[in-house]
């Protein structure tokens, strides 16, 4: 079992990665899966196996038993992460990360125990690399779990950088470096540099400092500190890399295994340099190109180091003696030059801005070159088994421990291993090199055939580009001027063609009669234009096809986008498109700081009803930053300047006269569910600066919602434009205590730490129904921080309204039961009696859907602390909760 887990797991992960690459179009998050199947699956497993094998060999003591448990725990944890992440199942990701961390900590403990038992040996200090790498992975895994949970853009970028530094440079990088100190000369069959151990010992502190500096820079958001850490790491590579030069001089690189490992190391350096450049540009540049960075590390570094190591180790581990090893190695090194050339030159081509079908063609043959190792592996297995069986038939059975002894001997450093007779120098094959170049040429040619026009445009772009080959185009000195109108949630025209390199100047005219609009193109934008206003936007030099949009919450989602086509330029990257408004994978779990005192608390006590039959109220629309939870701010759209609108109260037959004045920057309206009348005039959207009078007569009892009815309505309601009107039923008995809770959903932008940085409602999250917070009366957890005091034994009535815009509201108070419930104008229980007269009824929740309302009554039985919650607990835990403190009179 141990041997199967040790030898087969990495192959299975590689097979899965190749399968995802083939069927990636139909697999969710295929790019993420391919990267992690290689780095987390295949390479992490191999890192554990290599470090245990080489630690055992170098220390000359066996490691503790239970390797099967460690390998199995790592594989199970990796599988949990790989399955749970695309499914957005965070608990599964956490479980997987915990198992992975546990397996590596167990692995660390095994090596530590071996170190304590071992006598001093020449390469003892090399095993310290394995200890250090095992410390870094559990920390890196915790960042991976945090990324899966969902973070703001700022913390996503920081955590992503820390995750890569700890896992790629720490866990994988240190293990590979420590192993290559002794393994590299073995691959080349050459004598080791006498300085190798000393250089490795000197370099380890450099690597540890580099990783610590990089992670510190990531957590503090200091990009230049991260860059310093990466540069220190490169210095460490140069220092220890000097010991690799002498073996190359002695023997040269003449076989597939060292060539593949050497290419992997070069790609690791390319990946680090690419990461340095992107971080030097901006956080956005780093996150936008993360899958390019990950692809370099996964395909360029990870896959090639695996194939190189397996090519060398597999023939010795399979058995069959020297003859069997030679037969297996002969099979594994077939087409060496072709495979190396296609893989590495193909990866170079994939990093260029190729047209779609050219890119696909190169990707296909590159994957084929990598996948060719698998059938060769099976051929090698069968070739070795044939030799082994032939030896057995000749009554010369191989020693049962021969494979293990041979593998251990490969790591011995006392004397170099001479080239074995019968093994050809398989690397230099001019015919295969020409065939590889022809293979890639055919792939490109097929792509040109399928997409000739795009190929011509791409050539023009590549030969006129300056700076970044993917984005820069030489300015033409020409200007394209366009007039764009905004009206009815559309830009006209909705598409603009601009020769790449031209400056684009757009005159934006808001022809909408009531709504404000703006236009955002890349990092440039107009002000919010009132109806009839216009502004000239200089969009700059257009180098790539990009999208512009209206940034007012919800307008983009309703279709206010404009496509700018750079004729002769490149397409905007999918990462950039996603950053500029593509799919949002949900909200991070934002926790209010209950130790930070709220600046304002909404009084939950219901105002006393007056004897007036005509109720007049002025409602002013304002847009201002408000605290929506302790320490958390949002720019709210409000009725009368608070996070929830004022609660109105009256009786059946009363008249309400509401004057709405729009002092905001966009169109708004108001809709009272308590009135029944044609919506055309009173509910119309009015532009900034205008007013309307809304008059209605309350004809039915209920707690009724009122809200802004301007589209997108969900965003306007979620931004704070909602309140309640209570129309009492006849013969409503008075109670000692009355409260009102209006539940609402809060969708935060990326910045929410202060009034100055507060952003408006996040319309993407509204569409995804993924609120960051839930609130009673507009502020999450305000009544947790400021409990509501009620006397024991007195009757309490709580009016409830679900303002939505979408989530349900099952109201419950822990430790109590309701004896009276009233919803949507009717009693379902009254003093414990139901509609059929049964006298012993009770209720645990009042269930409300969006826009529904009602009330509950109860008496707190004894002194204590009672928590009221939305019993859809995920929403209750996001802030839809309150504390009632029952006290003796």
**Mind listing the pLDDT tens digit for each residue in 274-300?**
999 988 888 877 887 888 898 899 999
For residues 609-632, average pLDDT: 92
| Separation in Å, CA 535 to CA 342, 412, 517, 519, 525 | 53, 75, 11, 10, 10
Question: What pLDDT is attached to residue 397?
Answer: 45
Question: What pLDDT is attached to residue 730?
Answer: 87
In terms of Cα–Cα distance, which of 473, 464, 458, 460 is closest to 352? 458
Question: What pLDDT is attached to residue 569?
Answer: 62
Question: What pLDDT is attached to residue 476?
Answer: 79
Neighbour count for residue 802 (Cβ, 10 Å): 28
The span from the CA of 304 to the CA of 315, in Å, is 18
For residues 692-721, average pLDDT: 94
The span from the CA of 476 to the CA of 464, in Å, is 10
Task: Judge residue 31's burial from the number of C-beta atoms within 10 Å of its C-beta, 0-12 exposed, 13-18 middle, 19 or more buried.
Answer: middle
Q: Can you tell me whether residue 241 is helix, strand or coil?
A: helix
Question: What pLDDT is attached to residue 288?
Answer: 74
Q: Which pLDDT band holds residue 453 (cuts at 50, 70, 90)?
A: very low
Q: Which pLDDT band holds residue 219 (cuts at 50, 70, 90)?
A: very high
The span from the CA of 758 to the CA of 746, in Å, is 13
The span from the CA of 134 to the CA of 342, in Å, is 34
Greatest mean pLDDT range, 200-214, 582-596, 749-763: 200-214
In this predicted structure, which of 147-161, 551-565, 571-585 has the lowest mean pLDDT? 571-585
Answer yes or no: are the C-beta atoms of 471 and 281 closer than 8 Å.
no
* pLDDT above 50 for 235: yes
The span from the CA of 354 to the CA of 361, in Å, is 10
Question: What pLDDT is attached to residue 211?
Answer: 95
Q: Which pLDDT band holds residue 427 (cuts at 50, 70, 90)?
A: low
Question: What pLDDT is attached to residue 619?
Answer: 95
In terms of Cα–Cα distance, which of 630, 567, 570, 569 is closest to 599? 630
Cβ-Cβ contacts under 8 Å for 131 (sequence gap 6 or more): 108, 111, 112, 115
Q: Can you tell me whether residue 373 is helix, strand or coil?
A: helix
Q: 830: which strand partners?
A: 833
Percent of the chain with pLDDT over 90: 46
* pLDDT above 90 for 571: no
For residues 562-569, average pLDDT: 84
* pLDDT above 50 for 877: yes
Task: Find the DSSP H helices in 85-195.
Answer: 90-117, 127-149, 153-164, 173-188
Question: What pLDDT is attached to residue 65?
Answer: 66
Which helix H or strand E contains 495, and what residues bound it? Answer: strand 495-499
In this predicted structure, which of 86-90, 416-420, 595-599, 777-781 has the lowest mean pLDDT? 416-420
Task: Judge residue 224's burial from the number of C-beta atoms within 10 Å of its C-beta, 0-12 exposed, 13-18 middle, 19 or more buried.
Answer: exposed
Q: Which pLDDT band holds residue 174 (cuts at 50, 70, 90)?
A: very high
SS3 per-residue string spanning 832-853: CECCCCCCCCCECCEEECCCCE
For residues 554-577, average pLDDT: 68
Question: What pLDDT is attached to residue 613?
Answer: 93
DSSP output for 75-106: HHHHHHHHHHTTTT-HHHHHHHHHHHHHHHHH
Answer yes or no: are the C-beta atoms of 427 and 254 closer than 8 Å.
yes
Prior bond of 805 cis (ω within 30°): yes
Q: What is the pLDDT of residues 458-509, one digit of tens each?
A: 555 444 433 344 445 677 778 899 999 998 888 999 889 999 888 899 999 9
Q: Which pLDDT band holds residue 426 (cuts at 50, 70, 90)?
A: low
Answer yes or no: are the C-beta atoms of 802 and 853 closer than 8 Å.
yes
Q: CA angle 723-724-728, nearest 5°? A: 170
In this predicted structure, which of 11-25, 75-89, 413-427 has the lowest mean pLDDT? 413-427
* pLDDT above 90 for 797: yes
Question: What pLDDT is attached to residue 230?
Answer: 92
In this predicted structure, which of 68-82, 287-301, 320-334, 400-414 has the lowest mean pLDDT? 400-414
Q: What is the pLDDT of residues 354-380, one digit of tens each?
A: 777 788 888 899 999 999 998 998 888
Q: CA angle 94-576-163, nearest 5°? A: 30
The span from the CA of 289 to the CA of 182, in Å, is 35
Question: What pLDDT is attached to residue 73?
Answer: 92
SS3 per-residue string spanning 281-315: HCHHHHHHCHHHHHHHHHHHHHHHHHHHHHHHHHH
Mean pLDDT over each residue of the chain, to the nearest integer: 85
Answer yes or no: are the C-beta atoms of 660 and 694 closer than 8 Å.
yes
Question: What pLDDT is attached to residue 835?
Answer: 75
Q: Can you tell me whether residue 458 is helix, strand or coil?
A: helix
Q: Which pLDDT band holds residue 755 (cuts at 50, 70, 90)?
A: confident
The span from the CA of 127 to the CA of 77, in Å, is 25
In terms of Cα–Cα distance, which of 222, 311, 220 is closest to 260? 311
Cβ-Cβ contacts under 8 Å for 514 (sequence gap 6 or more): 531, 667, 684, 685, 686, 687
For residues 649-662, average pLDDT: 95
Q: 536: which strand partners?
A: 507
567 CA to centre of own chain? 33
Q: Can you tell me whether residue 538 is helix, strand or coil?
A: strand
The span from the CA of 820 to the CA of 846, in Å, is 10
Which helix H or strand E contains 240, and what residues bound it? Answer: helix 223-241
Question: What pLDDT is attached to residue 850?
Answer: 94
Q: Can you tell me whether residue 625 is helix, strand or coil?
A: strand
Answer yes or no: are the C-beta atoms of 130 and 55 closer than 8 Å.
yes
* pLDDT above 70 for 439: yes
The span from the CA of 739 to the CA of 603, in Å, is 9
718 CA to centre of own chain? 24
For residues 540-553, average pLDDT: 86
DSSP count for the chain of H helices, then E strands: 27, 29
Prior bond of 493 cis (ω within 30°): yes
Question: What pLDDT is attached to residue 413?
Answer: 34
Q: 793: which strand partners?
A: none
Prior bond of 712 cis (ω within 30°): yes
* pLDDT above 80 for 552: yes
Q: What is the pLDDT of residues 66-96, one digit of tens each?
A: 778 888 899 999 999 999 888 878 889 999 9
In this predicted structure, which of 588-602, 621-635, 645-659 has the lowest mean pLDDT? 588-602
The span from the CA of 387 to the CA of 399, in Å, is 14
For residues 727-740, average pLDDT: 93
Which helix H or strand E contains 204, and what residues bound it? Answer: helix 196-220
In this predicted structure, which of 315-324, 570-579, 612-621, 843-852 has the lowest mean pLDDT? 570-579
Which helix H or strand E contains 634, and what residues bound it? Answer: strand 632-639
Question: What pLDDT is attached to residue 798?
Answer: 97
Task: Find the DSSP H helices in 333-466.
Answer: 336-350, 356-371, 373-393, 402-411, 430-450, 452-464
485 CA to centre of own chain? 36
């Amino acid at each position: 079992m141990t041997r199967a887990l040790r030898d087969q797991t990495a192959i299975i992960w590689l097979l899965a990665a190749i399968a995802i690459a083939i069927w990636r179009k139909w697999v969710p998050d295929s790019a993420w899966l391919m990267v992690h199947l290689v780095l987390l699956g295949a390479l992490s497993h191999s890192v554990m196996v290599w470090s245990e094998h080489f630690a055992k060999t170098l220390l000359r003591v066996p490691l503790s038993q239970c390797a099967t448990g460690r390998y199995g725990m790592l594989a199970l944890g990796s599988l949990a992460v790989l399955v749970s992440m695309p499914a957005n199942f965070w608990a599964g990701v956490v479980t997987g990360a915990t198992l992975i961390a546990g397996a590596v900590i167990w692995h660390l403990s095994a090596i530590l125990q071996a170190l304590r038992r071992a006598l001093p040996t020449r390469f003892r200090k090399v095993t310290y690399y394995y200890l250090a790498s095992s410390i870094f992975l559990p920390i890196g895994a915790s960042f991976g779990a945090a990324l899966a949970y969902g973070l703001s853009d700022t913390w996503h970028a920081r955590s992503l950088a820390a995750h890569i530094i700890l896992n790629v440079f720490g866990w994988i990088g240190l293990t590979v470096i420590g192993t290559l100190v002794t393994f590299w000369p073995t691959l080349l069959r050459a004598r080791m540099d006498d300085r190798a151990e000393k250089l490795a010992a000197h370099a380890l502190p450099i690597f540890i400092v580099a990783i610590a500096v990089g992670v510190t820079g990531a957590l503090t958001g200091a990009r230049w500190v991260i860059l310093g850490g990466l540069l220190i790491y490169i210095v460490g590579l140069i220092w220890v890399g000097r010991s690799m030069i002498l073996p190359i001089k002695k023997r040269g690189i003449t076989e597939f295994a060292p060539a593949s490992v050497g290419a992997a190391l070069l790609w690791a350096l390319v990946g680090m340099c690419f990461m340095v450049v992107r971080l030097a540009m901006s956080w956005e540049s780093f996150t936008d190109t993360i899958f390019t960075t990950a692809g370099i590390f996964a395909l360029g570094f990870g896959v090639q180091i695996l194939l190189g190591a397996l090519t060398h180790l597999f023939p010795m581990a399979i058995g069959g003696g020297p003859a069997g090893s030679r037969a297996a190695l002969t099979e594994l090194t077939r087409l060496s030059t072709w495979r190396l050339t296609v893989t590495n030159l193909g990866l170079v081509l994939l990093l260029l801005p190729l047209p779609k079908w050219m890119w696909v063609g190169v990707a296909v043959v590159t994957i084929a070159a990598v996948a060719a190792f698998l059938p060769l592996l099976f051929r090698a297995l069968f070739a070795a088994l044939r030799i082994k069986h032939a030896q057995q038939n000749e009554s010369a059975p191989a020693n049962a421990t021969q494979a293990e002894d041979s593998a251990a001997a490969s790591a011995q450093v006392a004397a170099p291993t001479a080239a074995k007779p019968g093994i050809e120098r398989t690397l230099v094959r001019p015919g295969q090199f020409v065939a590889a170049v022809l293979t890639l040429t055919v792939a490109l040619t097929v792509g040109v055939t399928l997409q000739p026009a795009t190929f011509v445009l791409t050539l023009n772009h590549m030969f006129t580009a300056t700076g970044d080959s993917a984005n820069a185009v030489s300015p033409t000195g020409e200007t394209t001027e366009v007039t764009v109108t905004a009206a009815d949630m559309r830009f006209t025209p909705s598409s603009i063609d601009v020769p790449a390199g031209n400056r684009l100047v757009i005159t934006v005219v808001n022809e909408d009669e009531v709504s404000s609009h703006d236009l955002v193109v890349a990092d440039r934008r107009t002000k919010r234009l009132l109806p009839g206003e216009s502004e000239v936007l200089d969009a700059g030099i257009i180098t790539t096809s990009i999208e512009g949009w209206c940034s007012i919450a919800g307008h983009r989602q309703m279709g206010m986008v404009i496509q700018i086509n750079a004729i002769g330029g490149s397409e905007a990257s999918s990462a950039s498109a996603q950053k500029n408004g593509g799919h949002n994978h949900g909200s991070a779990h934002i926790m209010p700081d209950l130790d930070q005192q709220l600046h304002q608390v909404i009084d939950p006590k219901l105002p006393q009803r007056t004897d007036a039959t005509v109720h007049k109220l002025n409602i002013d629309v304002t847009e201002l930053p408000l605290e929506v939870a302790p320490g958390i701010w949002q720019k709210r759209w409000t009725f009368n300047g608070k996070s929830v609108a004022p609660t109105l109260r009256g009786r059946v037959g009363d008249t309400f006269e509401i004057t709405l004045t729009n002092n905001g920057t966009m169109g708004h309206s108001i809709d009272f569910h308590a009135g029944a009348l044609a919506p055309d005039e009173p509910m119309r959207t009015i532009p900034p600066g205008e007013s309307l009078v809304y008059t209605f007569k309350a004809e039915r009892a209920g707690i009724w919602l009122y809200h802004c009815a301007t589209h997108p309505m969900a965003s306007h309601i979620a931004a704070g434009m909602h309140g309640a009107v209570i129309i009492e039923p006849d013969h409503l008995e008075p109670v000692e205590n009355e409260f009102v809770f209006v539940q609402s959903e809060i969708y935060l932008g990326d910045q929410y730490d202060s009034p100055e940085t507060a952003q408006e409602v996040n319309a993407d999250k509204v569409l995804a129904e993924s609120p960051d917070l839930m609130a009673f009366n507009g502020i999450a957890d305000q009544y947790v921080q400021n409990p509501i005091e009620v006397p024991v034994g007195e009757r309490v009535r709580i009016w409830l309204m679900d303002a939505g815009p979408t989530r349900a509201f099952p109201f419950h108070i822990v430790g109590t039961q309701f004896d009276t419930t009233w919803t949507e104008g009717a009693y379902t229980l009254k003093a414990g009696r139901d509609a059929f007269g049964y006298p012993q009824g009770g209720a645990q929740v009042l269930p409300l859907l969006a826009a529904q309302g009602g009330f509950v009554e109860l008496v707190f039985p004894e002194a204590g602390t009672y928590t009221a919650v939305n019993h859809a607990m995920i929403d209750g835990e996001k802030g839809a909760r309150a504390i009632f403190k029952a006290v003796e009179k």
